[in-house]
Amino acid sequence: MAGLLDGKVAIITGAGNGLGEAYAKLFAKEGASVVVNDLGGARDGSGGDRSAAQKVVDAIEAAGGKAVANGDDVSTVQGGENILQAALDNFGKVDILVCNAGILRDKTFANTSEEDWDKVVKVHLKGTYCCALPVWKYMKDHGGGSMVLTSSTSGLYGNFGQANYGAAKAGIYGMMRVMAIEGRKYNIRVMGLAPGAYTRMTSDLPGRLGKEPDPMSLPENVAPGVLYMVSDLAADHSGKVLGVSSRGVREIKMLQTGGFNPGRPYTAQEVAEHASEVFFANAEERTAQTT
């Protein structure tokens, strides 16, 4: 059977471990040639070692697929340009970009240092910009393509101790929405991803320490949802966010209430009186159920 990505070229950032590694291996199995990007740093963004990306490439090639390793830093403009160039030099084009690279420096907001803030925002938000921009320009001039930008429920709903990470991931959501609108005329489809999986980024979260991971929470069970997103199967869904985790695949949307609209000057007291129209009923309970 033909693969869903036969003849396609995909760039995946942060693909030396975890989710990115699972995407790379599945994309290659489905016929794509893959640029496996990974700086090879620690979870907090320190250090670097290209061997992580090369190990994934070796596994893909051993299984009969095509891939090339890249160790450029996603958080620099030059790094993003180099990653695109690796695709063009080795495979002649690019059809798919998955911005997955990320780090964590979790602390409560009051304990966050400027360095913690800047580094996390630089890797996640600026890193998405640095990688997406050159690929966007290429796709704009070569008939289009598909992109998946990785957000998070920490940015969409909020999560204790992740103000820096949540801010960056919420920014990626806004970036995705604008890019999806602008990409329509160029046949560039952009979707947002909020993944949930057991990886080195999440293995020490409360409730997970010392426990074996739920098999459904492994990266291999997130990858099929992302494969769907970059394939032609999702051609009509640009601008949407999918949550993909052990709970399956679901759309996450921004919603608003009917609201209080008096059509005349009003007072703060009147807003309070119409609170049932302004706010979603049981909003706190609904948020808890979705995260």
For residue range 166-217, list pLDDT tens digits in order.
999 999 999 999 999 999 999 999 999 999 987 555 545 555 445 556 676 8
Segments making up each domain of the chain, as ranges: 9-254, 257-291
Kindly report the average pLDDT of the chain as a whole number. 91
Is residue 11 a contact partner of residue 87, using CB atoms and an 8 Å limit? yes
For residue range 82-100, list pLDDT tens digits in order.
999 999 999 999 999 999 9
Nearest-10 Cα torsion for 68, 69, 70, 71: 180
Radius of gyration of the chain (CA): 20
For residue range 17-28, list pLDDT tens digits in order.
999 999 999 999
Q: Which of 129, 165, 173, 198 is catalytic?
A: 165
**Active-site residue 165, yes or no?**
yes
Q: Is 260 left (phi over 0), alpha (psi -120 to 50) or beta?
A: beta
Provide the CATH number for the domain formed by 9-254 in this structure: 3.40.50.720
Backbone dihedral angles phi then psi of residue 216, each to the nearest 5 degrees: -75, -15
pTM: 0.90
Which residues, given as ranges, of the chain have pLDDT below 70?
A: 1, 41-48, 199-214, 216, 282-291
